[in-house]
Chain A
Amino acid sequence: MKAVLLLEDGTVFEGLGFGAKGCTCGEVVFNTSMTGYQEILTDPSYHEQIITMTYPLIGNTGTNPDDWESRKVFAAGFIVKENCPYPSNWRNQETLDAYLKANSVVGIEGIDTRRLVRHIRTQGAMRGILSSSELGIKKLTATLQDYPGLVGRDIVKDVTVAKPYEWTEGVLDVLTNTQDVPTPKYKVVAIDYGMKRNILRLLVSHGCEVVAVPAKASAKEILAHKPDGVFLSNGPGDPAAVTYAVETVKALLGKIPIFGICLGHQILSLALGGTTYKLKFGHRGANHPVKNLRTGKIEITSQNHGFCVDLDSFKGKDVELTHLNLNDNTCEGIRSDKLGAFAVQYHPEASPGPHDARYLFTDFTTLMAASKD
């Protein structure tokens, strides 16, 4: 099955299709993590994004029921150098190909992914169309032209949940097949902008009773749960377009401890008067060094964001920069002690990625404990 990837600047890559047969539009991005493709595919932050894996051999460990990060595969498409048809891992249950087919996701393999990555690096992330059904460039160009891209659009509404739900699972130890579920001490409302499950699991394992609510839940609805803290989740797209979420957080600030991750970080920043901008090609991977400016220590972090909080936008405001990306000196974390709120741009829940920043969940419970007293 032939497949083709067309970028908005006209660049074409031809390869072989795998996964579902079809045609899909999205922003073409790349991820440099060498492990965790199943978690990446199911991360709702990748909604409307076609993901290129820089590591060329993908699918080696197949897929399994434990490595889902949400209820479905959110990636719009998947680009790899070589898709592995014979996975080998004791947890494997289904090949990547079958998994993508079952989840209606189009994949392409056999292209020079490094060329594509270098192209994105120099030209910036761009819109693209990936197709294994229609192969005519003219038709694909036309379809792609109709695709609006991510800037200025609220796509959180497409991935959030319709109704509140409770979450009770803790972090799973795959070797012993046991979960870490202590008796809850705190009640947390997590606003689901497209939340990764490992955040929920970590909250539970840190002694939180968790209720997740839709992105549009109002401050009043949230406070009605009588939480000890509010968590702002990750999610896809342009934070500036999710104005309702910013308003909700503004209404919560100072009333209750708040912890945000990724889009949650951006929304908190906007609520604190900051601004966001789009990065040239974003940060996606599991190896980004972030310096904790309070301790001076470096964390190797899992990242997935195309937008970024403008450091300068906090000038003169009572917001502390707590975490800095050492690769490009961008904002990775902020805190307002006065308002009892903090957030990080990267993913302390990892999954995939290093677990260096899990202490932030403890920081959150500490903050809730302090505000309870």
Chain B
Amino acid sequence: MPKRKDIHKILIIGSGPIIIGQACEFDYSGAQACKVLRREGFEVVLVNSNPATIMTDPELADRTYIEPITPEIVEMVIRREKPDSLLPTLGGQTGLNTAVALAESGVLKKYGVKLLGANLRSIKKAEERDRFKKTIQDIGLEVPRSGYVHNWQEAKRVVEQIGFPAIIRPSYTLGGTGGNVAYNTEEYEKYIRWGLALSPHSQVLVEESVAGWKEYELEVMRDRKDNVVIVCSIENLDPMGIHTGDSITVAPAQTLTDKEYQIMREASLKIIRAIGVETGGSNIQFAVNPADGRLYVIEMNPRVSRSSALASKATGFAIAKIASLLAVGYTLDEIPNDITKKTPACFEPTIDYCVVKWPRFTFEKFPQTSPELTVQMKSVGEAMAIGRTFKEALQKAIRSLEIDRHALAAKHIDETVPPNQLKDKLRSHCWDKLWYVAEALRRKMPVDELFALTKIDPWFLNNIQDIVTLEAKLLAGKGTLPDARMMRAAKEYGFSDRYLASISNVTEPEFRKHRQSLGVNAVYKTVDTCGAEFEATTPYLYSTFETECEAAPTSRRKIIILGGGPNRIGQGIEFDYCCCHAAFALREIGVESIMVNCNPETVSTDYDTSDRLYFEPLTFEDVMNIVEKEKPDGVIVQFGGQTPLKLAVPLERAGVPIIGTSPDSIDRAENRERFNRLVVKLGLRQPESGTAMTYDETLNVAAKLGYPLLIRPSFVLGGRAMDIVYDEDGLRACVEEAIEVSGEHPILIDKFLDDATELDVDAISDGSRVVIGGIMEHIEEAGVHSGDSACSIPAVNIKKDVLEEIARQAKLLALELNVKGLINIQFAVKDDEVYILEVNPRASRTIPFVSKAIGVPLAKLAAKIMAGMSLDELGFTEEVRPDHYAVKEAVFPFLKFPGTDALLGPEMLSTGEVMGLSDDFGTAYAKSQIAAGNSLPVTGSVLFSIRDADKARAVPVARKLGAMGFKIIATKGTCIEFIRNNIPSEFALKMSEGRPNIVDAIINGQIDLIVNTTVGKQSITDSFAIRRNAVDRQIPYVTTIRGAEAVVKAIESLKAKKVRVKPIQLYYR
């Protein structure tokens, strides 16, 4: 069937900010959809609040609305654009939920908008647990026993039937938020109550636990002629009980015979038909009892998902792209297979390698929360590795994670862990369990026993046993270089040069030389969807150690772009955005682009993005292998964040042509002493500072500078282990960790500028000219990590001459550092004095935001500069000063991490960002808040608890809110201050003052907005309960007075109903 004639204009809803459970995979799917649908001649309208996405680039859709994804706002877009259809299945759960809300409220009907892909009925069949259960049982398949509960009484009844352990799943929450496993009544009651509070409908599903069973996933595609194919099977290494997003997973399934696999395949076909997904991809999860093969259907996602992104990268079958084509009427046999070109997409990919996906966690950022893995997803990113064997892929995956672990080596855990504790670890669901598995195998624990403890299938355990056995042989030759046979064996098993070099006691480059002298070199194989049955036209490659190399480098002018690796807090989609733009830019100027990355969620690892894609870890070894094979004219390291930047010096030392700003310049900015000299040379100012290696040295520096102080380690991204201290107690509390994280480098101690305004500047330079991209004023004061602070373009409160001075200093720095490409500088302004806080001569996290605020693709321009063009040639010679406001707001994962304090500080904690655009600041800020999920109230009660230093500035805030009709409630000191200033204010007890207190009021739903500023450890601890309860109840809260001022402006705008929608294409005119 050819494409439908009744569709002309399609609305696509994106997934919004990056959050745990919803990451770049939806940019990958959405960007593919936009591209392919426009190519097919459809008009595409896009709504997505996330500026760091490729899909929100103005070229990707006809009309791009960077607006909050709420039913109300999307309705405005529909009213304005009048699309005839809506594709709801590409924007994750957010996109799907929004589409469902619009369908249920009658908006779609009112405007004549058709749902493509899945209709409301089938979405509800898949999403509503009881309907899903019934549908599955009707087709003769089994689901775990379960029941819905709405209160504790019902919960008690249900668990009597189901027994322990019981799984608790709050309804209608994202990414399994609030999901838990309860092993006893006490835990059960706790989790039920938490779950009921989290669920928007106070509904929790209690489910029979199949913890310990094997977990599988199938990716299914269906077209409107009912052709169905399985794109990929995935087997989880971790058993049921751990969210699949947090599990190590392997493709294809490894331990199913054909008969069992076909049972699962048939079940999937039945399910997609019974649910009634008309066209597109779905993901179906199964649990299998390892003892007898009994099969339970766990869940189905009637949409493109994280797993489908993984399946696309694992097989080369572009699920989202094909789902989009199916949605507009094509059938599978009408769509060519992208990779072979000659065969159709109507087939089931077969792969001739093994794929391992390994999640990336950031528990170190949330020390108050338990690092135990459960049915609620906690990982913030993932790495994927491809090898010809599981062993090779597994070990490649480890080094892809970039957690400074390059093997399953014992040194990464406590090698002296006593046997009982080791067993506890093996029974637990800790994120680094495989290191304990390896250790248990080293201690000769039999695989059977290990299986009993871990429920990890013996097939995986035996493979790890192979690795451990070879490791023992290698360790037996400690201090000597392996011979050719041993070398080949080790490399075939995926051992990294880095680990092998450490065993041989030589440097990695020395080891590399030795390895190459033995003729043991990496070769590259193609991901081709078909196990080499047909010729592949797409150079999508991975390394292995075999005999034939398929890389076939061209003789074109070429540049390698090093990507950012797995998402983590501090390094996410923003850097992938920049890498993609580099690839697009190179394509535009006829230079071959070669992408290296190992993050399966991203657009950069779409084989369409670059001319050639190497799906490889970003380590010295793996990158050097590619460089030696490709012999590029240049390598770009400044777009992928800290990951490739760290490789700059070793690569340059190895003779690799690093293009753009030189590694020496990068070092001048990163190295504290050299940076100080630079600042002095240019006659600029920075806060007074010092460095220290020990606590005593730190004390000396503190005595010299005076408090407050900003303490941080060298060479980290995202403010890891950074802290602001106001006294010696605070100093003592944080120095140890900073010293540890800093390693051999000194910790940095700066005089902290209290109550200063922080500004971020992104600029671009070709070495002789510098153009300011944007000057962003942070909403939160200096001291909150720039990635966590809301910010505005243009600046709101800074005087014009100060802005000019900032621009002057930025240009001076860029020229002095001979920047070729991008530079990011952080300034603080206090009493109209400008201080330099930090200089990063590379692409920053804010590049996509700035690019979208001003309508200039800065990363693309920077890549062209690196390839030799000048700003003059590129026609970008003057700063764009928009007459609209663009506000970026950060989005946090606190809800996923119970017990974590939601206080902002110098260590970055946000996972994603949104952007609000409007002609006035208040509305732009209001939109950013709506988009970030902080639904600001327009009536109700505001609770104030304000530190002394802020009290004076809190007065006008309270006054304005009071004037707008809000009831003002305040704790003692604050209340007195308000009443003294004639602001009607109600007094409330602090927690330590008795009951009912402010926390009771929050829990009782009497508070609609919280303004709570604190200073020092004690008051932070006091107010912890306020913030935590606000997070759990999703009550908007502000922890800085500047934030409160912005909130007032936003509420004013909301009350005046000034929120309108407008596509970015119109802002740029």
Contact across chains for B293 and A91 when beta carbons are under 8 A apart: yes
Q: Which of B331, B333, B458, B546 contacts A88 (CB 8 A)?
A: B458
Is B1030 positioned at the interface, with any CB of A under 8 Å from its CB?
no
* Residues of A contacting B343 in the complex (Cβ-Cβ under 8 angstroms): 289, 326-328
* Residues of B contacting A121 in the complex (Cβ-Cβ under 8 angstroms): 532-535
List CB contacts (< 8 Å) of B460-518 with chain A.
462
Q: Knowing A34-B351, A114-B532 touch, does A175 contact B293 (C-beta < 8 A)?
A: yes
Q: Which of B255, B293, B346, B351 contacts A60 (CB 8 A)?
A: B255
* Residues of B contacting A330 in the complex (Cβ-Cβ under 8 angstroms): none
Q: Which of A54, A88, A328 contacts B532 (CB 8 A)?
A: A54
Q: Which of A57, A66, A90, A117 contacts B354 (CB 8 A)?
A: A57
* Residues of A contacting B295 in the complex (Cβ-Cβ under 8 angstroms): 175
Contact across chains for B532 and A175 when beta carbons are under 8 A apart: no
Interface centre among A115, A291, A328, A351 (most CB of B within 10 A): A115
List CB contacts (< 8 Å) of B510-559 with chain A.
525, 530-535, 546-548, 550
Chain A proximity of B233: nearest CB distance (Å): 8
* Residues of A contacting B262 in the complex (Cβ-Cβ under 8 angstroms): 35, 350, 352-355
Give CA–CA (A316, B258) in the complex, Å: 41
Q: Knowing A35-B261, A57-B390, A326-B343 touch, does A87 contact B459 (C-beta < 8 A)?
A: yes
Contact across chains for A326 and B344 when beta carbons are under 8 A apart: yes
Give CA–CA (A56, B293) in the complex, Å: 24
* Residues of A contacting B832 in the complex (Cβ-Cβ under 8 angstroms): none
Shortest Cβ distance from A33 into B: residue: B350
Is B190 positioned at the interface, with any CB of A under 8 Å from its CB?
no
* Residues of A contacting B255 in the complex (Cβ-Cβ under 8 angstroms): 60-61, 88-89
Contact across chains for A289 and B347 when beta carbons are under 8 A apart: yes
Is B229 positioned at the interface, with any CB of A under 8 Å from its CB?
yes
Contact across chains for A57 and B389 when beta carbons are under 8 A apart: yes
Give CA–CA (A112, B253) in the complex, Å: 22
Q: Knowing A114-B548, A175-B295 touch, does A91 contact B332 (C-beta < 8 A)?
A: no
* Residues of A contacting B292 in the complex (Cβ-Cβ under 8 angstroms): 90, 175
Is A86 positioned at the interface, with any CB of B under 8 Å from its CB?
yes
Give CA–CA (A65, B182) in the complex, Å: 41
Is A71 positioned at the interface, with any CB of B under 8 Å from its CB?
no
Give CA–CA (A81, B532) in the complex, Å: 14
Contact across chains for B533 and A285 when beta carbons are under 8 A apart: yes
Contact across chains for A81 and B389 when beta carbons are under 8 A apart: yes
Chain B proximity of A306: nearest CB distance (Å): 14
Give CA–CA (A175, B140) in the complex, Å: 13
Q: Knowing A56-B354, A56-B389, A289-B333 touch, does A114 contact B344 (C-beta < 8 A)?
A: no
Chain A proximity of B453: nearest CB distance (Å): 16
* Residues of A contacting B546 in the complex (Cβ-Cβ under 8 angstroms): 112, 114-115
Chain B proximity of A37: nearest CB distance (Å): 8
Is A180 positioned at the interface, with any CB of B under 8 Å from its CB?
no
* Residues of A contacting B261 in the complex (Cβ-Cβ under 8 angstroms): 35
* Residues of B contacting A10 in the complex (Cβ-Cβ under 8 angstroms): none
* Residues of A contacting B344 in the complex (Cβ-Cβ under 8 angstroms): 289, 326-327
Chain B proximity of A300: nearest CB distance (Å): 5
Q: Knowing A34-B252, A285-B533 touch, does A327 contact B347 (C-beta < 8 A)?
A: yes
Shortest Cβ distance from B459 into A: residue: A88
Is A217 positioned at the interface, with any CB of B under 8 Å from its CB?
no
Give CA–CA (A298, B265) in the complex, Å: 16
Interface majority SS (helix, strand, loop, mixed), chain A: loop
Indicate with 1 or 0, residue by residue over B740-752, a CB within 8 angstroms of chain A CB atoms. 0000000000000
Interface centre among B257, B261, B447 (most CB of A within 10 A): B257
List CB contacts (< 8 Å) of A87-129 with chain B.
87-91, 112-115, 117-118, 121
Contact across chains for B348 and A300 when beta carbons are under 8 A apart: yes
* Residues of A contacting B415 in the complex (Cβ-Cβ under 8 angstroms): none
* Residues of B contacting A112 in the complex (Cβ-Cβ under 8 angstroms): 546-548
Contact across chains for A54 and B350 when beta carbons are under 8 A apart: yes
Chain A proximity of B230: nearest CB distance (Å): 8
Is A133 positioned at the interface, with any CB of B under 8 Å from its CB?
no
Q: Which of A39, A56, A172, A287 contacts B352 (CB 8 A)?
A: A56
Is B263 positioned at the interface, with any CB of A under 8 Å from its CB?
yes
Interface centre among A82, A113, A296 (most CB of B within 10 A): A82
Number of A residues whose C-beta is below 8 Å from B?
Answer: 55
Contact across chains for A61 and B256 when beta carbons are under 8 A apart: yes
Is B121 positioned at the interface, with any CB of A under 8 Å from its CB?
no
* Residues of A contacting B346 in the complex (Cβ-Cβ under 8 angstroms): 289, 298, 326
Contact across chains for A60 and B254 when beta carbons are under 8 A apart: yes
Contact across chains for B389 and A35 when beta carbons are under 8 A apart: no
Is A288 positioned at the interface, with any CB of B under 8 Å from its CB?
yes
Contact across chains for A291 and B333 when beta carbons are under 8 A apart: yes
Is B259 positioned at the interface, with any CB of A under 8 Å from its CB?
yes
Contact across chains for A35 and B352 when beta carbons are under 8 A apart: no
Is A336 positioned at the interface, with any CB of B under 8 Å from its CB?
no
Q: Which of B254, B260, B266, B342 contacts A57 (CB 8 A)?
A: B254
Indicate with 1 or 0, residue by residue over A59-79, a CB within 8 angstroms of chain B CB atoms. 011001011000000000000
Give CA–CA (A121, B536) in the complex, Å: 12
Is A174 positioned at the interface, with any CB of B under 8 Å from its CB?
yes
Give CA–CA (A285, B261) in the complex, Å: 15
Chain A proximity of B843: nearest CB distance (Å): 37
List CB contacts (< 8 Å) of B224-259 with chain A.
225-227, 229-230, 252-259
Is A32 positioned at the interface, with any CB of B under 8 Å from its CB?
yes
Q: Which of A32, A81, A84 contacts B533 (CB 8 A)?
A: A32
Q: Which of A55, A81, A174 contacts B260 (CB 8 A)?
A: A174
Contact across chains for B333 and A326 when beta carbons are under 8 A apart: yes
Contact across chains for B458 and A175 when beta carbons are under 8 A apart: no
Is B967 positioned at the interface, with any CB of A under 8 Å from its CB?
no
Q: Knowing A89-B255, A114-B546 touch, does A56 contact B459 (C-beta < 8 A)?
A: no
Give CA–CA (A247, B255) in the complex, Å: 45
Is A164 positioned at the interface, with any CB of B under 8 Å from its CB?
no
Give CA–CA (A56, B227) in the complex, Å: 29
Give CA–CA (A55, B355) in the complex, Å: 12
Indicate with 1 or 0, residue by residue over B281-315, a CB within 8 angstroms of chain A CB atoms. 00000000011111100000000000000000000
Contact across chains for B348 and A354 when beta carbons are under 8 A apart: yes
Is B388 positioned at the interface, with any CB of A under 8 Å from its CB?
yes
Contact across chains for A88 and B457 when beta carbons are under 8 A apart: yes
Give CA–CA (A175, B547) in the complex, Å: 42
Give CA–CA (A285, B349) in the complex, Å: 11
Chain B proximity of A39: nearest CB distance (Å): 6
Beyond A30-B531, A81-B389, A88-B458, 17 additional pairs, beta carbon < 8 A: A30-B533, A32-B533, A34-B350, A35-B261, A56-B354, A57-B354, A57-B390, A61-B256, A81-B388, A86-B447, A88-B255, A114-B352, A118-B550, A175-B292, A175-B293, A289-B332, A354-B262
Residues on A facing B (Cβ under 8 Å): 30, 32-36, 38-39, 54-57, 60-61, 64, 66-67, 81-82, 84, 86-91, 112-115, 117-118, 121, 172, 174-175, 285-289, 291, 296-298, 300, 326-328, 350-355
* 25 A–B contacts, CB within 8 A, in A order: A30-B532, A30-B533, A32-B530, A34-B351, A36-B258, A39-B258, A54-B532, A86-B447, A86-B462, A88-B459, A112-B547, A114-B388, A114-B525, A114-B531, A174-B259, A287-B530, A289-B332, A296-B225, A300-B229, A326-B333, A326-B344, A326-B346, A327-B344, A351-B258, A353-B262
Residues on B facing A (Cβ under 8 Å): 225-227, 229-230, 252-263, 265-266, 290-295, 331-333, 342-344, 346-354, 388-390, 447, 457-459, 462, 525, 530-535, 546-548, 550
